[in-house]
Amino acid sequence: MIKSESEKSIENVCDLNYLTEMMGGKKHLIRGIMDTFLKQVPEELQSINEAITKKDYAVIKNFAHTMKSSVSIMGITVLAPVLQEMEDLGSTSGDIEKIKKLNQKLNLICKQAIEEIEIEKYLYV
């Protein structure tokens, strides 16, 4: 069945099956990783936002690179190509307008992911 745009927008961006399987279902470990993610990702986004303002391509590249690991653990697969493109554009000092558009998408998806994890983490007490 083809989903409408509004249905797609309320789909979860996180898939925590990988994390749960990896941690053998141990709730305290999953909760710990979620807490670290919730603290770390806003800092990473802020660093990228500042780097875009300063056109600091090296920082854009480095943070896009490191964020790939964090988001993959939370199963946010939709961000993998976004971050890869940002990293590539950062390493070649590419089109800053393109980077800004990708960053908007990154912020939007991360915001949704953070909201999902904020709710989900109470299941892992």
Binder of another protein out of 3, 7, 15, 22 (CB under 8 A): 22
Angstrom distance (rounded) from CA 9 to CA 25: 28
Q: Residue 34 — φ and ψ, nearest 5°?
A: -60, -45
| 107 binds another protein, rule: CB under 8 A | no
74 within 8 A of 37, measured Cβ to Cβ: yes
Looking at 6-14, 34-42, 92-100, 112-120, which segment touches another protein (CB under 8 A)? 34-42
Shortest distance, CB of residue 97 to another protein, whole angstroms?
24
Q: Annotate each residue in 44-73 with x if it binds another protein (CB under 8 A) or - if it does not, as one string.
A: ---x----------xx--xx-xx-xxx-xx
| 24 binds another protein, rule: CB under 8 A | yes
Contacts of 124 (CB under 8 A, 6+ apart): 27, 28, 30, 31, 34
The footprint of another protein on this chain (CB under 8 A) covers a number of residues equal to 24
Q: Which residues bind another protein (CB under 8 A)?
A: 18-19, 22-24, 26, 29, 32-33, 36-37, 40, 47, 58-59, 62-63, 65-66, 68-70, 72-73
